[in-house]
């Protein structure tokens, strides 16, 4: 059980499930009451982001082991010597292979997206994460692309409502990743010689930029309804809760920049985004 828990933390399974849920949600919205694709197609669409995300996180911990030890990340199984470097690298390679193989059952554009984002995730873990905003933007894009990916599984063109949801996910992801870079700046600079945003402009300024992005999500959260997503009491209530949560997180990030406060904001942002996605999903009821 300890080994299974270590691999769960290595792969960040909760993130993988959220991305795959986003793909399935996009498929349901894009289908718009029409016949859904075959179960095998939906399963393949679910598996692609799930396994590529697993591979990316395993590779992340492989490259970041010194930084994680410096930052005292006891939740990272390589840094805590629960999983070896070789085992993590093998797990990453297998995960990437399974994710890309699953994409072969989908339209060619979906396979292209899977391959491009797999390559970008490797580049991110190797070097892009050390650049100001570039790495943050990649992670934000990886949180947005599942909605477009799921749309393209069933449709030859993109729906405005899904483009709007993707925009919400991108802004939320960008704010979250700037917070993470701000948390990890000391270890990143020392062990990776990173030039991330907080390394250049400081923790306070970076946190304030993240706060501004969170505050921007207050109106942006409702944008999918403007572009055609059906609205009901439950969906608007859950999205309103997400908007209020991001407003509070924006205030908190601007006020406190100690690592404990930033980590609380970062973790809460994922929960808030999850509630918002469930709100969008309830529009289908």
**CA 76 – CA 61 distance, rounded (Å):** 7
For residue range 155-169, what is the model confidence (pLDDT) as tens digits?
A: 888 999 999 999 999
Domain ranges of the chain: 1-157, 159-285
**Burial profile 169-194: b = 16 or more Cβ within 10 angstroms, e = fewer:** bbbbbbbbbbbbbbbbbebbbebbeb
Architecture of domain 1-157 in this structure: Orthogonal Bundle (1.10)
Under 8 Å between Cβ of 20 and 153: no
| pLDDT tens, residue by residue, 64-110 | 888 888 777 878 999 999 999 999 999 999 999 999 999 999 999 99
Contact between 29 and 277 under an 8 Å Cβ cutoff? The reply is no
> How far apart, in Å, are the Cα atoms of 96 and each of 92, 239, 245, 257?
6, 33, 34, 35
Residues 6+ apart with CB under 8 A from 200: 132
Task: Compute the distance between CA of residue 259 and CA of residue 242 in angstroms, rounded to an integer.
Answer: 23
Given 3.40.50, 3.30.70, 3.30.450, 1.20.120, which CATH number is that of 159-285? 1.20.120
The answer to whether the predicted template modeling score (pTM) of the entire model surpasses 0.85 is yes
End-to-end CA distance of the chain: 38
Instruction: Measure Cα distances from 282 to 28, 194, 229 in Å.
Output: 11, 42, 10
233-276 pLDDT, tens digit per residue, is 999 999 999 999 999 999 999 998 888 999 999 999 989 999 99
């Amino acid at each position: 059980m300890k080994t299974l828990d270590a691999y769960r933390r290595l792969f960040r399974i909760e993130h993988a499930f959220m991305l795959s849920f986003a793909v399935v949600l996009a498929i349901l919205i894009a289908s718009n009451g029409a016949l859904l694709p075959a179960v095998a197609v939906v399963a393949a669409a679910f598996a692609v982001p799930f396994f590529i995300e697993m591979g990316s996180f395993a590779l992340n911990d492989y490259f970041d082991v010194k930084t994680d030890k410096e930052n005292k990340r006891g939740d990272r199984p390589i840094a805590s010597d629960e999983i070896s470097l070789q085992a993590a690298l093998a797990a990453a390679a297998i995960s990437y292979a399974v994710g890309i193989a699953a994409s072969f059952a989908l339209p060619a554009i979906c396979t292209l997206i899977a391959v491009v984002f797999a390559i970008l995730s490797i580049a991110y873990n190797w070097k892009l994460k050390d650049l100001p905003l570039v790495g943050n933007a990649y992670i934000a894009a990886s949180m947005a692309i599942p909605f477009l990916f799921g749309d393209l599984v069933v449709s030859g063109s993109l729906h405005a409502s899904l483009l709007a949801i993707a925009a919400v996910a991108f802004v939320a992801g960008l704010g979250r990743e700037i917070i993470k870079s701000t948390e990890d700046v000391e270890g990143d600079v020392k062990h990776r010689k990173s030039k991330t945003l907080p390394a250049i402009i400081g923790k306070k300024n970076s946190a304030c930029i993240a706060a501004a992005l969170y505050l921007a999500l207050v109106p942006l959260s409702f944008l999918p309804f403007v572009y055609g997503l059906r609205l009901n009491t439950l969906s608007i209530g859950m999205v309103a809760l997400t908007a209020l949560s991001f407003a509070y997180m924006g205030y908190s990030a601007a006020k406190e920049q100690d690592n404990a406060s930033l980590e609380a904001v970062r973790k809460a942002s994922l929960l808030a985004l999850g509630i918002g996605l469930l709100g969008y999903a309830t529009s289908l009821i």
